[in-house]
Amino acid sequence: MLDPVLLRKNLDLVVERLATRGVTFDVASFNELESQRKAIQTETETLQAQRNTLAKQIGALKSKGEDASEVMAQSQTIPGKLKALEESLYQIQAQLNALLLATPNLPHESVPLGKDSDDNVELRRWVPTPDAQGNPASLGFEAKDHVDIGEPLGLDFEVGAKLSGARFSFMRGQMARLHRALAQFMLDLQTGQHGYTECYTPYIVNASTLVGTGQLPKFREDMFWVTRGGEVDEGAQEQFLISTSEITLTSMVRDSIVAQAELPIKLTAHTPCFRSEAGSGGRDVRGLIRQHQFDKVEMVQIVHPEQSYEALDEMVGHAEAVLQALGLPYRVMQLCTGDMGFGATKTYDLEVWIPAQNTWREISSVSNCEAFQARRMQARFRPASGKPEYVHTLNGSGLAVGRALVAVLENYQQADGSVLVPEVLRPYMGGADRLVP
């Protein structure tokens, strides 16, 4: 959530920066609600002062033995008026809150301007054996896509569709083990070398948790909702399947004040992720690229505000380390203002090379949300001196397991249909160096 004080003091700046994201802020509604809020608060303060004055008059009259009934009658009307103003203020604050909850974060001034992914900026790429254009060199034979490679190895989309419908998969044997190996390797790297604490989190969360991290109310249709007995009982709290463990890891500090000495907090988890992908029909319907259920190893950092951009660069490096260890070519992209996620103020994407598509595809997205989520969650830290302040929150994929599986299958495929196992994964595969149909 944006800082209400910033909106009141520098509304023009907020409007200008939101416009770079293609967002038009409802200035008229905000100004009208702010005007009503100020009027109510002014009237409330006037009545409170009047109540104090009348109380003194009543005391003075009674001390002299004089009749105070008329002044007391005036005083007795004030509580009812204050109660009505309190209720009105609550309604105004609720409307202001709804407006702010639907408003995305402001881009950092270093983020390049742009409308969509075409305006993103490539910063660097890591390609062990590049061709003349700087892309990975040809495999030396016609590349198959991961579906054709994976099906003889145990990747089964027909069973997934039979069990659950479109955009679900089923894995067996060596394919299931390779998928597990990738997740275990990522967790071991993030915990063993990068200092993250491994967590196990719920896969089902309540609505207030999703409001805190920004999925609700705006992205409700992208979530899978959970009911008991086929319907939601009246008055029961709504629950949802998580779309990323960013939700649960970041929310660990919701409604709390942590000591400054505890920062930074670095957390990781391997979880399934569930996304309804509303509005994405027709895109990547073949294979593992865009599934309703997929696995991800997530990285989250909760840090001091002065250290969040240093942490952002560090987290990008942590995601890169996974790809380099796997020997997968990738490039780092800085997202433009129009392509960033709702809660992000600055984002870097890592895109891995997919030979069958002859292109780069996103495999990790690392974002700094500054205090945007913390303000929604009321997550603060207590400095050595002074009032509690909002923490900054960051999140990133470290990595998306399904997309990493796609990249391994396609980049390590052999002409005979087998797939070499990256060296770092072989200990997790019982020493196997190759998958054979």
Q: Which residue ranges are tagged as binding site for ATP?
A: 275-277, 362-365
- Listed in sequence order, the DSSP H helices in 102-194 are 146-150, 157-164, 173-192
**Which amino acids are annotated as binding site for L-serine, given as ranges?**
244-246, 298, 397
**Which amino acids are annotated as binding site, given as ranges?**
244-246, 275-277, 298, 362-365, 397
Phi, psi of 257, deg, nearest 5: -120, 115
Residue type, 224: F
Minimal CA–CA distance to 174: which of 405, 392, 329, 1? Answer: 405
Antiparallel, parallel or unpaired: β 256-259 and 379-382: parallel
Contacts 24+ apart (CB under 8 A), 51-59: 51/75, 51/78, 51/82, 54/78
d(CA 312, CA 241): 27
What is residue 122's DSSP assignment? E
Antiparallel, parallel or unpaired: β 434-435 and 419-420: antiparallel
DSSP state letters, 236-302: PPPEEE-S-THHHHHGGGTTEEEEGGGPSEEEEEEEEEE---TT-TTSS-STTSS-SEEEEEEEEEE
